[in-house]
Amino acid sequence: MASLATLSSAKATLIRDLLRHRKARDAAQTFVIEGMKPIRELLRTQARSVEAIVVTSHCLDKSEPGLRRALEQGPAPIYICRQQVFDKISDVQTPAGILAVVRQPRWNQEEIFRQPSVFGLYGESLQDPANVGAIIRTAAAFGLDGVWLSADSADVFNPKVVRATAGTLLTLPIFSVTSGGRFGAHSVVAFARNDCALLVADPSSKRSRDIRQITRIPVRTILAFGNESRGLSEATDKQAALRFHIPVSRAVDSLNVAASAAIAMFYFSRLPRQGASP
């Protein structure tokens, strides 16, 4: 097995900070994944991204042979700790007894914009970690080229986001967009500069089209979704090449932003793409 040691109190404190504080994650450029299934998949596909694994003796004793082999063959050091210690550093109510400290992936935005076609999603001020995580996972499932989130959105390495993404954080390019002031005046500059048409989710505008009426999209398209309650900023909305909405029953006020994004990503991913605006 890879190097094995008892988890020190200093390392336990560091892991607890990584789970609880964005500043700690940003400084270390790492984040934490918890759970048997995601770590088994992580070791299978992204073992070199793992900086350390912490596991309780009980978890190690009851783990299946496949996980033990993956731990033995992996390059990351393994730390053993007591269940009481693990419970204190874990972010879940019923800890599985295993976690991994993982390096944050780095992506090249310019490489994506150099592609002949682009299909991505921009989320502005999306502050619910569960929504952000669900959107990222769905974007990966439908083959989007990338997800852009405004800087005031939930941190993608927040433990709740990490759990909701089910491992796709390491496979889908995700970028933080620095907004310009209160209304995000510069949030969409990169899209316009790279000839990407912004398709804005807007259920309230009279100019908004029923999504079913849209039969083609530009070859370079970014779907835009706004804050769960406020929607998109005025500055971003002004950049819209097209506004669309998803028709729902009159008995339902609106859809959750993650549900709306999922429907839109599925629908638009199936449409033909052309150079002209829709």
> Residue 265 — very low, low, confident or very high, per pLDDT cuts 50/70/90?
very high
Other C-beta atoms closer than 10 Å to the C-beta of 96 total 18
Mean pLDDT over 113-135 rounds to 96
**Whether pLDDT at 277 is above 60:** no
**Whether pLDDT at 13 is above 50:** yes
**Whether pLDDT at 66 is above 80:** no
Residues 164, 198: Cα–Cα separation, whole Å: 26
User: Is pLDDT larger for residue 251 or for residue 91?
Assistant: 91
Mean pLDDT over 113-120 rounds to 96
Q: Are 211 and 246 spatial neighbours (Cβ–Cβ below 8 Å)?
A: yes
Mean of all residue pLDDT scores within the chain = 90
What H or E segment, with its residue span, contains residue 163? helix 159-165
Q: Tokens 């706004």 appear where? A: 226
User: Is pLDDT larger for residue 272 or for residue 228?
Assistant: 272
Highest mean pLDDT among 50-54, 177-181, 274-278: 50-54
Write out pLDDT tens, residues 208-258. Answer: 999 999 999 999 999 999 998 888 988 898 899 999 999 988 877 778 999
Structure tokens at 136: 């990222």
Q: Tokens 């819209």 appear where? A: 240
* Residue 65 phi, psi (nearest 5): -55, -35
User: Is pLDDT larger for residue 65 or for residue 111?
Assistant: 111
Work out the percent of the chain whose per-residue pLDDT is above 90. 71
What pLDDT is recorded for position 180? 46
